[in-house]
Chains A and B, each alone.
Chain A
């Protein structure tokens, strides 16, 4: 171990700079210990105590002393490097003296930056989401709560707080909304117009808004409420707020309400308010008896498609048709072989799946599902179909640890091939959901697999029918027409809506003559 010292006369540096230099010098190759200090008596004795200085040196407080300890052969080079570092000019300030502003770390901090913010879109993990929503409300923001797994008590507390402060909570588990023309979370690009929607179902809202767009009308506002809003303990707070806001909104001439059947007392209240809205209200409570809904100025729709059609008619000043005429029956008589008898629906949208079960059970009997209409039709093993089966692949059972099937097609593709290999399967029923948040090009994921599935059946001497619908618009990032064309090329028979696709699929199993019996 050797030592080296160097004195730079009248070379002042402040103590912090020197400490910094010392730590730089200590990292030079072959250096064990290093110090750069002003050579005051006190500092010299410090260096001696540290073993960096042996001999007595002649230096004063205005002299800079470099002392190194390390490998004998490395010290000369290290000292030269140290000296040159001392003579370097300081580096310029980073970024021209400007630094990037710190990204906001909390809602409150964000509000400091965006003082006019009026909505918080919250998609944090569920266990933190209720707290974030409360903060947003306390800071005077409306909330769209995409996060799920929020306790009902929290939902009630959030919505009551919001209501008391003239704010709205869309959600929890609210997948989509369109506010002032801006699509939020999983939403489609639809034209603006005069039809306002309040929906307790995400894909339900997407289907209705997309069909309205397809049929030439537009959306004023589309408000999501989350699936539990019409639970009796929540009382439909958000739907009522949305309904009242749309009733008062001069840009809205027709209102559409969508939900699974609410608890009777909530339904009664919502329908009373709807009846007094002063403008026509179309109601689709999936699976509910239309007779219980109908009242002056309130129109019952049995399917999402019917709801969209009724709204378009009313916006045109026409009376909605009671039960839209059926689409032409299945044009291509399927060449099924004996034994091919079952329908298998593989859905990414929960409401589409539920709608399919509702429409099919009347004509086909039990429809097995992970989310059945009748509890006794629940599949014991969701990975294996039974008879007529429709599966919601967006269910928690399937999404644990993997992305939603609207984003990641692998799980559904595997299931398509599995169903294609089942000799009893006649038809596979699919949905494809476009819009912000969904896969950028779903047809590119699905088409090759569908072709393989059909080929597989062909090789086994069967004919596999694949029926589906694409929920989207031509302005969506994925482009509805491009997606439809690619799927048709792959042999998918497409309908405009899920309801029509379901009916087409049913005709494959039942034969075209019985289609009139479908609801």
Chain B
């Protein structure tokens, strides 16, 4: 009531002309200037739709439910399976890829290269020409990993014979999957499909997979959440830096491996392979994040983002309250540091499902835990903290399981709210690797990018339409 206002101290939020704020302050009033710019990239209709969603009880309640589900999720590593057998709705001649849906002819070089490689690996074609013909002839079904409860870094290619991590959210029972990390250099996820790449995949299938499966069985269920939390305290953000998490994982595994009846040569090869790859844990980190976020997906009315993913052409997001819908726009090129001999001109646009880590409040959102990462863009440890702080302005809350020592053990900001992104224009920050635009060259750098606003703007519009329909 206006009358109540008369009894209080006037406290003004000034939106617009800053001279008005100065006058209020000069007159002894309390005022805060909003650093305002037209929200929603200036789309007036979306601005209005956004306004109808701000503090809307139905959305607030839905978000509480979705966020609680994310917080209470307990991702545990349950085992290792074969994609064709364990992934939901995986068909016989189906290959999964990273990012939002995309037709073969529109795919970027690395993704096409990886799919050709997967066809060769599966033995569906004798050579690359045949594999190419098969893919372009539509004889292989291509679908996003995300449509099959899975995630994959970069090209994100998973074919039926590949061994996959099986993670389950012990709280809600939902499962999530990912392939194995092949290491760096010439690897399938960057589109390489030469015989050495196929041979490595075969080795992963025949030796590494069974060896680790036996080890994981001996180990019993491994709680990934606490392992990731521990890695955050050791300088990882478990997206672009996984050196601590990989070490922790290996430390848990070694004794279990030795207790199996696997030939010691295979154990040695497996341990060498993991020890030689600082990114080995990335695929597990991603799977754990996918499990936590799927627990939050599908709450009608919720504006919480449950996936951010890129296919090298488009950047896409999914939102808890928007079902299976993707909101996509052109994928940005990553700003970062390049390996010798490469520049931005060689880079493929942003690629892969790994931004699931940021969606879950890790990666760029937990940058304060990993000051080493900020150096990709020439920043200071303070900049890392600032990035995490900024992300707290677009999230529903913080995840108390993922604490940040440099920020007095505050939880990492998590649960991206499309409304807050569109209202503030603060774009989710993503730490990521950079792929060469041509198939098979591999990783050429790493850096930091931001999720494009257009995805969030579309999502706000869709949610507003849905809420109007439900009222």
Q: How far is the CB of B291 from chain A (nearest CB, A)?
A: 30
Q: Is the CB of A106 within 8 A of B420?
A: yes
Q: How far is the CB of A241 from chain B (nearest CB, A)?
A: 6
- In A82-132, the 8 Å CB interface with B consists of 91, 93-95, 97-99, 102-114, 116-125, 127-128, 130-132
Mark each residue of chain A from 147 to 160: 1 if its CB lies under 8 Å from any CB of chain B, else 0: 10000000000000
Q: Is the CB of B339 within 8 A of A106?
A: no
Contacts of A98 in B (CB 8 A): 382
Q: Is the CB of B10 within 8 A of A182?
A: yes
A179 contacts partner chain B, Cβ-Cβ < 8 Å: yes
B378 contacts partner chain A, Cβ-Cβ < 8 Å: yes
Q: Is the CB of B32 within 8 A of A113?
A: yes
CA–CA, A128 to B339, complex, Å? 45
With A33-B341, A109-B393, A242-B2 given, is the CB distance from A132 to B15 under 8 Å?
Answer: yes
Q: Is the CB of B337 within 8 A of A35?
A: no
B103 contacts partner chain A, Cβ-Cβ < 8 Å: no
Q: How far is the CB of A259 from chain B (nearest CB, A)?
A: 18
Q: Is the CB of B5 within 8 A of A118?
A: yes
A56 contacts partner chain B, Cβ-Cβ < 8 Å: no
Q: Is the CB of B372 within 8 A of A33?
A: no
Q: Is the CB of B375 within 8 A of A16?
A: yes
B234 contacts partner chain A, Cβ-Cβ < 8 Å: no
A513 contacts partner chain B, Cβ-Cβ < 8 Å: no
With A46-B339, A51-B341 given, is the CB distance from A118 to B51 under 8 Å?
Answer: no
- In B247-269, the 8 Å CB interface with A consists of none
With A124-B15, A189-B27 given, is the CB distance from A116 to B420 under 8 Å?
Answer: no
A347 contacts partner chain B, Cβ-Cβ < 8 Å: no
Q: Is the CB of A122 within 8 A of B423?
A: no
Contacts of B87 in A (CB 8 A): none
CA–CA, A481 to B448, complex, Å? 60
B139 contacts partner chain A, Cβ-Cβ < 8 Å: no
Q: Is the CB of B11 within 8 A of A123?
A: no
Q: Is the CB of A121 within 8 A of B54?
A: no
Contacts of A245 in B (CB 8 A): 1-3, 6
With A16-B372, A138-B55 given, is the CB distance from A97 to B19 under 8 Å?
Answer: no
A179's contact among B5, B20, B381, by CB below 8 Å, is which?
Answer: B5
A330 contacts partner chain B, Cβ-Cβ < 8 Å: no
Q: Is the CB of B11 within 8 A of A116?
A: yes
Q: Is the CB of B1 within 8 A of A166?
A: yes
- Name which of A97, A106, A146, A242 has the most chain B CB atoms within 10 A of its CB: A106
A319 contacts partner chain B, Cβ-Cβ < 8 Å: no
Q: Is the CB of A108 within 8 A of B24?
A: no
Q: Is the CB of B47 within 8 A of A128?
A: yes
Q: How far is the CB of A414 from chain B (nearest CB, A)?
A: 25
Query: Nearest residue in A to B381 (C-beta to C-beta)?
Result: A93
With A128-B38, A168-B2 given, is the CB distance from A121 to B27 under 8 Å?
Answer: no
With A116-B9, A122-B16, A139-B55 given, is the CB distance from A19 to B34 under 8 Å?
Answer: no
B124 contacts partner chain A, Cβ-Cβ < 8 Å: no
With A14-B372, A16-B337, A104-B35 given, is the CB distance from A93 to B380 under 8 Å?
Answer: yes
Contacts of A103 in B (CB 8 A): 33-35
CA–CA, A14 to B451, complex, Å? 27
B198 contacts partner chain A, Cβ-Cβ < 8 Å: no
- In A169-195, the 8 Å CB interface with B consists of 179-185, 187, 189
Contacts of A132 in B (CB 8 A): 15, 36, 51
A297 contacts partner chain B, Cβ-Cβ < 8 Å: no
Stretch at the interface among B141-149, B311-319, B384-392: B384-392
CA–CA, A94 to B380, complex, Å? 7
Q: Is the CB of B32 within 8 A of A110?
A: yes
CA–CA, A138 to B52, complex, Å? 8
Q: How far is the CB of A25 from chain B (nearest CB, A)?
A: 10
- Name which of B185, B383, B423 has the most chain A CB atoms within 10 A of its CB: B423
Contacts of A147 in B (CB 8 A): 16
- In B1-60, the 8 Å CB interface with A consists of 1-6, 8-17, 19-21, 23-24, 26-39, 44, 47-48, 50-52, 54-56
- Name which of B13, B21, B338, B373 has the most chain A CB atoms within 10 A of its CB: B13
B425 contacts partner chain A, Cβ-Cβ < 8 Å: yes
CA–CA, A514 to B337, complex, Å? 86
CA–CA, A42 to B424, complex, Å? 45
B445 contacts partner chain A, Cβ-Cβ < 8 Å: yes
Q: Is the CB of A138 within 8 A of B385?
A: no
CA–CA, A361 to B224, complex, Å? 84
Q: How far is the CB of A119 from chain B (nearest CB, A)?
A: 5
- Name which of A97, A103, A116, A121 has the most chain B CB atoms within 10 A of its CB: A121
Q: Is the CB of B12 within 8 A of A117?
A: yes
A398 contacts partner chain B, Cβ-Cβ < 8 Å: no
A449 contacts partner chain B, Cβ-Cβ < 8 Å: no
Q: Is the CB of B425 within 8 A of A437?
A: no
B423's contact among A16, A35, A99, A108, by CB below 8 Å, is which?
Answer: A108
Q: Is the CB of A131 within 8 A of B16?
A: no
Q: How many residues of B contact A (CB 8 A)?
A: 71
Query: Nearest residue in B to A112 (C-beta to C-beta)?
Result: B393
A284 contacts partner chain B, Cβ-Cβ < 8 Å: no
B340 contacts partner chain A, Cβ-Cβ < 8 Å: yes
CA–CA, A139 to B15, complex, Å? 14
B454 contacts partner chain A, Cβ-Cβ < 8 Å: no
B376 contacts partner chain A, Cβ-Cβ < 8 Å: yes
With A128-B38, A242-B2 given, is the CB distance from A105 to B425 under 8 Å?
Answer: yes
Q: Is the CB of B32 within 8 A of A105?
A: no
- In B139-192, the 8 Å CB interface with A consists of 185
Q: Is the CB of B11 within 8 A of A105?
A: no
CA–CA, A110 to B31, complex, Å? 10
CA–CA, A94 to B381, complex, Å? 9
Q: Is the CB of B340 within 8 A of A35?
A: yes
Q: Is the CB of A146 within 8 A of B20?
A: yes
Mark each residue of chain A from 28 to 59: 1 if its CB lies under 8 Å from any CB of chain B, else 0: 00000111010000100011011110000000
B426 contacts partner chain A, Cβ-Cβ < 8 Å: yes
CA–CA, A99 to B385, complex, Å? 9
Q: Is the CB of A102 within 8 A of B12?
A: no
A206 contacts partner chain B, Cβ-Cβ < 8 Å: no
A493 contacts partner chain B, Cβ-Cβ < 8 Å: no
Q: How far is the CB of B307 from chain A (nearest CB, A)?
A: 24
- In A1-43, the 8 Å CB interface with B consists of 14, 16-17, 19-20, 22-23, 33-35, 37, 42
Contacts of B383 in A (CB 8 A): 94, 99
Contacts of A19 in B (CB 8 A): 337-339, 376, 445-446
With A33-B341, A93-B382 given, is the CB distance from A17 to B375 under 8 Å?
Answer: yes
CA–CA, A109 to B389, complex, Å? 13
Q: Is the CB of A183 within 8 A of B23?
A: yes
With A16-B376, A135-B51 given, is the CB distance from A182 to B28 under 8 Å?
Answer: yes
Contacts of B424 in A (CB 8 A): 105-106, 109
CA–CA, A128 to B38, complex, Å? 7
Contacts of B341 in A (CB 8 A): 33, 35, 46, 49-52
CA–CA, A235 to B48, complex, Å? 24
Q: How far is the CB of A321 from chain B (nearest CB, A)?
A: 30
Mark each residue of chain B from 406 to 423: 1 if its CB lies under 8 Å from any CB of chain A, else 0: 000000000000001001
Query: Nearest residue in B to A46 (C-beta to C-beta)?
Result: B340
Contacts of B8 in A (CB 8 A): 116, 118, 180
Q: Other than the known A67-B340, A114-B32, what 17 A-B pairs have Cβ atoms closer than 8 Å?
A: A19-B338, A23-B338, A34-B340, A104-B34, A110-B13, A113-B32, A121-B14, A122-B15, A124-B16, A128-B38, A132-B36, A138-B55, A140-B55, A146-B16, A242-B2, A436-B20, A436-B27
Question: Top 10 closest A-B pairs, CB basis?
Answer: A123-B16, A50-B341, A436-B23, A19-B337, A35-B340, A134-B51, A103-B35, A105-B424, A182-B29, A245-B2
Can you list 30 residue pairs at the A/B interface with Cβ under 8 Å? A16-B337, A19-B376, A19-B446, A23-B338, A42-B185, A95-B382, A99-B383, A105-B424, A108-B55, A108-B420, A109-B420, A110-B34, A112-B393, A113-B32, A118-B8, A118-B10, A119-B12, A120-B15, A121-B21, A132-B51, A135-B51, A135-B54, A135-B423, A167-B2, A180-B8, A185-B23, A221-B6, A245-B3, A249-B3, A436-B23
